[in-house]
Amino acid sequence: MSPHKSLAIAEVIVYGGIALPIGLFLWVKEGWRHFEWMFVFLLASIRIIGSILQLLDDETGPPNKSITIINGIGLSPLLGIMLMLVHRLCETSQHLRLAKVVMFLHVVVLGAVPLLVVGILKLFSAEDGRALGRILTAIGLSIFFQVYLIQTGIAMFAWKASGTKQKPLSYLGSTILAMTPLLLLRLLYSTLAFFVTSTNAFSPSKGNMAAQVLLSILPENVIALLAVGWGLLIWRKTPPGHTYGLTNATTSSTALTHQ
């Protein structure tokens, strides 16, 4: 069995055995309006589909178009996870206007996905369509990068301006801080995969294993595991019969302090 197929099996185990069921569990427990868990569930589903396609792929042929599209689409739920956690951070620290900006960034990300898909399809089309494909792909990725930069700036501002060291907020801030460089690595890998055409080193289906693991697989897995790990940590600290809410937890702690 080739290294790429072995890696695909490992991804099915990680996402199918950990991220997908825990993401669904947290989504049900916290309520369907907590979309960070929807994005975890979506990311896990996309990666499982991509891994199955990798197992069925003929590695002696040209790069697989479906796997490339799955790889590109997978960026959107990663950004979605980060955006929803930043949204929680903004709401907790009472920066409600910034929270609304973060929610608007979701619409921007969703708008970039069709550009990315069409661009990838054009890259696999006849020679005369590849120039347009590069342009559309570049626009889609540049939107993702801009969203990344904006959400990182918002998270830093909300964290520094909050002035609170409440444990739930501290855990959330640490989780976002750990995810931020990993998401940047994943974005850089996609950029290299789409635009370094002189070699297949960054191909998601046939590329260099070290580059794929360090820049793509590992960052994605760690982001997903950090998200569900933080969710389980906070869920266990939530009083029975209450829906988790950082603002409620912070308010309750403040009230106890003044008693």
Specify the pLDDT at position 259.
33
**Confidence (pLDDT) at 45:** 94
pLDDT digits (tens, 9 = 90+) for 86-117: 998 888 888 889 999 999 999 999 999 999 98
Per-residue confidence at 69, pLDDT binned at 50, 70, 90? confident
Sequence letter at residue 225: L
Closest CA to 35 of 79, 84, 87, 106: 84
Average pLDDT over residues 194-211: 76
pLDDT, residue 61, reads 66
Q: Does domain 3-258 have CATH number 1.10.260.40?
A: no
- pLDDT for 256 beyond 80: no
CB 139 within 8 A of CB 72: no
